[in-house]
Amino acid sequence: MSKIERFEDLKVWQKSREMNLKIYKLSNKGTFAKDFGLRDQIRRASVSIL
């Protein structure tokens, strides 16, 4: 078993970072990007998992 020295070494953190980037990319497209309130709320929620 490998030793975890930093939180960035955790697989769960790496996966949540990938998901966060996907959410940001998806929320920049189409009509979703124009609904600023919803877009920003979704982005804030995705950041909270980091």
Q: Which residue from 49, 48, 3, 46 is spatially nearest to 23, judged by alpha carbons?
A: 46
Number of domains in the chain: 1
Instruction: Assess if residue 21 is contained within a domain.
Output: yes
Instruction: Assess if residue 17 is contained within a domain.
Output: yes
Instruction: Assess if residue 14 is contained within a domain.
Output: yes
Instruction: Assess if residue 3 is contained within a domain.
Output: no
4-43 pLDDT per residue, tens: 899 999 999 999 999 999 999 999 999 989 999 999 999 9
Angstrom distances, CA of residue 50 to CA of 1, 3, 31, 32, 43: 24, 21, 26, 23, 12
pLDDT of residue 37: 96
Instruction: Assess if residue 30 is contained within a domain.
Output: yes
pLDDT of residue 8: 92
Instruction: Assess if residue 1 is contained within a domain.
Output: no
Pairwise CA distance, residues 22 & 39, whole Å: 13
Instruction: Assess if residue 13 is contained within a domain.
Output: yes
pLDDT of residue 1: 64
pLDDT of residue 2: 75
Instruction: Assess if residue 2 is contained within a domain.
Output: no
Q: Give the domain extent around 18.
A: 8-48
pLDDT of residue 33: 93
Residue 3: pLDDT over 90: no
